[in-house]
Amino acid sequence: MIKKLAWIGILFLWFSSIEAQEKFRRLPPYPEPIKEWRLPRLETVTLTNGLKIAVISRRNSPFISLQLILMIGESFSPESLPGLATVTARLMSRGTTLLSASTIEEKIESIGGQLEILVSCDRTLFSFIFLKEYLNEALSLLSQIILQPAFASNELEAVRRTLFYDLAEKRGQSEVLAERQLLRWLLKGHPYEKSLFNEESIRLISRRDIQDFYNRHYRPENALLVVGGNITLSEASKLISHYFNIWKGEEPRRPAWPTLMPLSERILGFIDLPRSKEVTITMGNVVASRSFNDIFPLLVLNQVFGGSPHSRLFMNLRETRQLAYIAFSKIELLQLGWLFLIQIKSPPESLLAVLKEIDQELNRLIKEKLPAAEIEQAKSFLLESFPLGLEPIEVMTRRAAEILALKMEEEYWNSWPENILTLEAARITEVSQRLLMVPFSIVIVGDSRRLTNFFEEYEQLFNQIKIYDYKGQLLYTLSKGDEK
Amino acid sequence: MKERLILKKIILVFILTVILGDSFLIRAQTEEKLVTNPFPFVYYHLKNGLGVIMAEDDTLPVITIAVAYKVGSSQEKPGQTGLAFLLENLMFQGSMNVGPMQHFSYISRVGGRSEAKLSEDLTIFYQTVPSHQLPLVLWLESDRMLSLNISEEHIDRSKIAVLDELVQRRLREPFLDSFIIFDQLLYRNFSLSHPVLGTEEDVVSLTVDDVREFYKNYYVPNNAVLCLIGDFNRRRARELIEKYFESIPKGKTIPAQSEILENFDGPIFKIYVDPLVPAPAFHLAYRVAPMTSEDFPVFKIIEYLLIRGKTSWLQRRLLRREKLVVRIDGGLESKVNSAFLRLFAVANNEVMIERSLKAIEAEISRLKSTLVSAEELEIARNKYRADLNQSLETTAGRALFLAEMYFRYPSLEDIAKHLERPLKVAASEIVGLANRYFTNENLAILKIRIR
């Protein structure tokens, strides 16, 4: 009897231990306590020739990342030659007075390196990453590329061909077509408009135009070199000074360009992309602020609205209503204005419903008080996810370089957590009503044959649709009451 | 009296088994081993056989948790291709305590990323999150390892996603069919020659029983490894891993895959006509030494000399200097116990294809007859080192690397030796191996013609 009781007891103990153990599986666990963490500090110094240097240290990185930013972008290209800034920058790595293009390629690969050149409205970036023991070789090569470009005619042809190929490839990408058309409206008449260059102006660019552009704008006072890796500011500045101190030039004259202004009317545009299975919608307008204090409330607003798969747009359009495949929003920070952009991909049959839902979500964001819980969730998402985007040294250095180029390192980089944490709901609401209460223009890219229903019904929301080709040429306007 | 004695014995046995015996068992099976190269990590096993690898790095408050199962398309039977891919998708369709697609939602809510990677021998699930979210990821991963929802409804949902991906892939990759055909020429065994993602016909016909069987056999702790990389406290992490994973029952022992024997039978020269491709092209491959062989690291350097990077011999000659092709890429491909150096090139016309093949032959002859210069060797080594360091730069990269090494390489202690060996390759070794392996018997060529 006792033996039986003992066995029953043992079995009971065993089962109850399993049961108790498995209870924790029913609900998601609480997170561990958050560890105190700070972004590595950005330390800066300016050389006597005006070149600004910044260093961001990471002790265990096997690479060093050099991010050389020139504060000149496509907006500096002459009116008659949009694309000149891009061609100039690309041609610089295609040969110097001493090194041919293939020697440069060989030198880059021999130090385990990669060089990427990017040109935007405001800036030109030379992003160079290589094995850490080759800092001298890398600086020597970068200084030759920047200070002694050859601008050889045969290489100009090669750069042109690559650009034509890039432009042709983009033509088939619905999201690029949509964004470029929206930017044509938002940047119209502004020097930034030149960033939307096409093949025609590239054909007109001569070697002399490039040399003139280089002479006028490639100045140390116009440049910023950010170094990331296992290096200190004094080590970096000594070496950089050695390779770049001969870089001289007149003080660059920066033109006084106007800031971007929001479009006051809403435009609806359509570009036909035959055989496209889905519809791409890009919406947006200029945010009329240049106060850095507005950036943090805007980031929280963007997070609440469409910054992640957990934001309102994605949750409503994709998860709840299953109207869209993706639905996000983003903020683009340019020197002379910021853009608030929305990007959606949906099945053609959902197009009208998607547009109605976005309007409602925008109204909700601007007119309704944001719930405290949603604000706190957005703030903690921004704080927690920030370090995830800094893992490779190149990404971290590039991010720091962009912040420095916008002249907001103190506000943005060094005080990031405090600026997010201390934001109050009233301030966020004030910013949303001041900056986002603007009409959002819309570009739709899709296969017109799959959108016959939309063309029958668009009048429920809009008075007219402007039909464009992929080059931005207005083909015709479809107005309310027109024959479809 | 006797009964009391029996009772005492039973209680004693119970205590010994539950407390002492169990802890002895744990100690015996779960002793941590420390490896310091290429970066410090420890590894051990849970009682149920789950491998655990932990590498601490407090550079950023970020962690990656990868759970890798030693299963892929090579475990599929004829008529069941796509099963591994379907199961990879099903792992996001919910388990006992997690709803469909909630895995993504939990991870994205905390600012993290969740991904999966499937190959012929491994299926890896990995997520990078803020470091204090470690319990959340362990909870999610353990729940789907223990209690995946496998029902008609869940499978149908996964089938739609898988079939859509297969269609999209076909649209994205016009040369896809030729890759599948070339795989069949290189790997005669069905396990390695069929497409990793499967075929539409097979996916449609997969049943609930097929999926349940596959999950029951392979998605078990003794067929898996958990890699945790980043900013965490090792003791606390170990406690949490035991809490979430140790009670998951061990599965039955899985037979080793040694029966997959390579039986490449070269030379192979074939022509494939595909009117849907945009331009003529060709595949070329040489069978080389398998990954675990002493010779393999030499081929790593040969790979960089010949095809990796803008200054590699073939890219420079075919693409830049002689402009014979519009695209050429390739590299070493290692599958279970076979390896090939593969090339794929697209040209404007068939004359260029023939000239390209001759140019490749000439470069291979150069490799066989001339010692590579010290400068060229240095460039190849540095390109290799940069690529390796880049792949290990993120916590996710290190987690994937360790998971793959755990299953594909005989010993974790020897990884550093394996990684450093290409850096010590001598020019004479390259000539020797090029002559031994780059022969007609080891060669396969598939030309793709439009008509």
Looking at residue B235, what is its pLDDT? 96
Supply angle C-alpha B112, B138, A420, rounded to 5: 30
Q: Encode pLDDT of A416-452 as tens digits.
A: 888 888 899 999 999 999 999 999 999 999 999 999 8
Residues of B numbered 320-379 whose beta carbons fall under 8 angstroms of chain A's beta carbons: which are they? 320, 375, 378-379
CB < 8 Å to B4, chain A: 2
Shared domain check, B358 and B402: yes
How far from the centroid of its chain's Cα atoms is residue B99's Cα? Answer: 28
Q: Encode pLDDT of A312-370 as tens digits.
A: 999 999 989 999 999 999 999 999 999 999 999 999 999 999 999 999 999 999 988 89
Which residue, A479, A456, A475, A471, is CA-closest to A200? A471
Q: How far apart are CA B405 and CA B388, in angstroms?
A: 14
B interface test, pick of A302, A388, A395, A416 with most B CB neighbours within 10 Å: A388
Mean pLDDT value of segment A195-199: 94
Do B97 and A32 make contact, defined as CB atoms within 8 angstroms?
A: no
Residue of B nearest to A38 (CA): B60
Q: How many residue pairs bridge chain A and chain B with CB atoms within 8 Å of each other?
A: 147
Q: What is the mean pLDDT of chain A?
A: 91
Supply angle C-alpha B23, B27, B32, rounded to 5: 145
Rg of chain B's alpha carbons, rounded to an integer? 25
CB < 8 Å to A382, chain B: 111
Q: Domain coordinates of chain A in residue numbers? A: 43-244, 268-479
Residue B25 has pLDDT above 50, yes or no: no
* Concatenated DSSP letters of B233-245: -HHHHHHHHHHHH
Residue B23 has pLDDT above 50, yes or no: no
Q: How far apart are CA B67 and CA B221, in angstroms?
A: 10
Interface ipTM: 0.86
Of A24, A112, A308, Cβ closest to residue B383: A112
Q: What is the mean pLDDT of chain B?
A: 90
- Of A168-172, B135-139, B341-345, give the lowest mean pLDDT range: A168-172
| Minimal CA separation from B443 to chain A, in Å | 29
At A4, the pLDDT band (50, 70, 90 cuts) reads low
Helix, strand or coil, per DSSP, at residue A225: strand
Of B10, B59, B316, Cβ closest to residue A58: B59
Shared domain check, B298 and B205: no
Residue B445 has pLDDT above 80, yes or no: yes
In a domain, B261, yes or no: no
CB < 8 Å to B107, chain A: none
At B85, the pLDDT band (50, 70, 90 cuts) reads very high
Of A1, A6, A131, Cβ closest to residue B386: A131
Do B3 and A18 make contact, defined as CB atoms within 8 angstroms?
A: no
In a domain, B79, yes or no: yes
Q: How far apart are CA A352 and CA A345, in angstroms?
A: 13
Helix axes B350-369, B427-437, angle to 10 degrees: 130
Name the strands in the sheet holding B268-273, side by side, starting at the edge strand that comes first in the sequence. B268-273, B443-449, B281-288, B338-346, B327-335
Name the strands in the sheet holding A63-70, side by side, starting at the edge strand that comes first in the sequence. A43-46, A52-57, A223-229, A63-70, A124-131, A114-119
Terminal alpha carbon distance of chain A: 91
At A384, the pLDDT band (50, 70, 90 cuts) reads confident
Do B132 and A31 make contact, defined as CB atoms within 8 angstroms?
A: yes
> Phi/psi zone of residue B141: left (φ > 0), alpha (ψ -120 to 50 degrees), beta?
alpha
Of B59, B109, B132, Cβ closest to residue A310: B109
Residue of A nearest to B379 (CA): A110
Name the one residue in this structure whose structure tokens are 């950005």.
A42
CB < 8 Å to B110, chain A: 31, 381, 384-385
Q: Is B309 on the interface with A (CB under 8 A)?
A: yes
At A138, the pLDDT band (50, 70, 90 cuts) reads very high
Residue of B nearest to A18 (CA): B247
CB B433 within 8 A of CB B259: no
Helix axes B427-437, B296-306, angle to 10 degrees: 90
Looking at residue B4, what is its pLDDT? 57
Q: How far apart are CA B220 and CA B148, in angstroms?
A: 11
At A11, the pLDDT band (50, 70, 90 cuts) reads low
Looking at residue B77, what is its pLDDT? 93
Residue A9 has pLDDT above 60, yes or no: no
Q: Is B14 on the interface with A (CB under 8 A)?
A: yes
Q: How far apart are CA B314 and CA B332, in angstroms?
A: 15
Q: Encode pLDDT of B98-122 as tens digits.
A: 998 899 989 988 989 999 999 999 9
Residue B232 has pLDDT above 60, yes or no: yes
CB < 8 Å to A18, chain B: 247
| Minimal CA separation from A415 to chain B, in Å | 17
Q: What is the CATH number of domain A268-479?
A: 3.30.830.10
| Minimal CA separation from A191 to chain B, in Å | 36
Do B62 and A391 make contact, defined as CB atoms within 8 angstroms?
A: yes
Residue A449: its H or E element: none
Residue A371 has pLDDT above 60, yes or no: yes
Q: Looking at B245, B276, B305, which one is the last position of a domain?
A: B245
Of A6, A106, A384, Cβ closest to residue B379: A106
Do B131 and A35 make contact, defined as CB atoms within 8 angstroms?
A: yes
Q: Encode pLDDT of B263-272 as tens digits.
A: 788 899 999 9
| A43-244: CATH superfamily | Metalloenzyme, LuxS/M16 peptidase-like (3.30.830.10)
In a domain, B20, yes or no: no
Burial of B204 (0-12, 13-18, 19+ CB in 10 A): exposed
Do B146 and A310 make contact, defined as CB atoms within 8 angstroms?
A: no
At B18, the pLDDT band (50, 70, 90 cuts) reads very low
| Minimal CA separation from B14 to chain A, in Å | 8
Q: Is B127 on the interface with A (CB under 8 A)?
A: no
A interface test, pick of B168, B248, B393 with most A CB neighbours within 10 Å: B393
CB A178 within 8 A of CB A252: no
Q: Encode pLDDT of B266-316 as tens digits.
A: 899 999 999 988 899 999 999 999 888 889 999 999 999 999 999 999 999
CB < 8 Å to A131, chain B: 382, 385-386, 389
In a domain, B258, yes or no: no
Looking at residue A121, what is its pLDDT? 94
List CB contacts of B380: < 8 A, sequence separation 6 or more: B301, B304, B305, B372
Looking at residue A415, what is its pLDDT? 79
- Of A65-69, A109-113, B98-102, give the lowest mean pLDDT range: B98-102
Supply angle C-alpha B257, B263, B269, rounded to 5: 140
Shared domain check, B354 and B220: no
Higher-confidence residue: A209 or A253? A209
Q: How far apart are CA A219 and CA A222, in angstroms?
A: 5
A interface test, pick of B1, B109, B378 with most A CB neighbours within 10 Å: B109
Mean pLDDT value of segment B331-350: 93
Of A26, A32, A388, Cβ closest to residue B111: A388
Shared domain check, B197 and B50: yes
E-assigned strand segments in A298-440 = 326-334, 337-346
Do B108 and A309 make contact, defined as CB atoms within 8 angstroms?
A: yes
Q: How far apart are CA B278 and CA B449, in angstroms?
A: 10
Shared domain check, B325 and B191: no
**What is the residue range of B303's domain?**
268-449
Do A131 and B132 make contact, defined as CB atoms within 8 angstroms?
A: no
At A130, the pLDDT band (50, 70, 90 cuts) reads very high
What are the phi and psi torsion angles at A51 (to 5°)?
A: -75, 125
Q: Looking at B211, B245, B279, which one is the last position of a domain?
A: B245
CB < 8 Å to A114, chain B: 386
Q: Is B168 on the interface with A (CB under 8 A)?
A: no
Amino acid found at B386:
A
CB A226 within 8 A of CB A406: no
Residue A168 has pLDDT above 90, yes or no: no
Q: Encode pLDDT of B122-148 as tens digits.
A: 999 999 999 999 999 999 999 999 999
Do B59 and A60 make contact, defined as CB atoms within 8 angstroms?
A: yes
What are the phi and psi torsion angles at A474 (to 5°)?
A: -75, 120
Q: How far apart are CA B62 and CA B82, in angstroms?
A: 34
Residue of B nearest to A388 (CA): B62
Residue B32 has pLDDT above 80, yes or no: yes
In a domain, B199, yes or no: yes
CB < 8 Å to B139, chain A: 24-25, 28-29
Residue B27 has pLDDT above 60, yes or no: no
Name the one residue in this structure whose structure tokens are 């998951």.
B248
Do B393 and A393 make contact, defined as CB atoms within 8 angstroms?
A: yes
Do B62 and A3 make contact, defined as CB atoms within 8 angstroms?
A: no
Do B112 and A388 make contact, defined as CB atoms within 8 angstroms?
A: yes
Of A3, A21, A27, Cβ closest to residue B247: A21
Q: Is B62 on the interface with A (CB under 8 A)?
A: yes
Q: Is B95 on the interface with A (CB under 8 A)?
A: no
Shared domain check, B224 and B347: no
Q: Which two tokens stand for residue A135?
A: 């800092």
CATH number, domain with residue B298:
3.30.830.10
Q: How far apart are CA A465 and CA A476, in angstroms?
A: 9
B interface test, pick of A4, A10, A25, A114 with most B CB neighbours within 10 Å: A25
Q: Looking at B185, B211, B245, which one is the last position of a domain?
A: B245
Q: Which two tokens stand for residue A452?
A: 């016959």
The domain tally of chain B equals 2
Residue of A nearest to B100 (CA): A319
Same fold, A43-244 and A268-479: yes
Pair type for strands A268-272 and A464-468: parallel
Do A6 and B146 make contact, defined as CB atoms within 8 angstroms?
A: no
Q: How far apart are CA B175 and CA B446, in angstroms?
A: 12
Q: Encode pLDDT of B354-405 as tens digits.
A: 999 999 999 999 999 999 999 999 999 999 999 999 999 999 999 999 999 9
Do B135 and A6 make contact, defined as CB atoms within 8 angstroms?
A: no
Q: Other CB atoms closer than 10 Å to residue B39's CB: what's the count?
A: 17
Residues of B numbered 191-250 whose beta carbons fall under 8 angstroms of chain A's beta carbons: which are they? 231, 236, 243-244, 247
| Minimal CA separation from B168 to chain A, in Å | 11
Q: How far apart are CA A13 and CA B10, in angstroms?
A: 13
CB < 8 Å to B231, chain A: 35
Mean pLDDT value of segment A74-93: 96
> What percent of chain B clears pLDDT 70, i.e. is strictly above it?
92
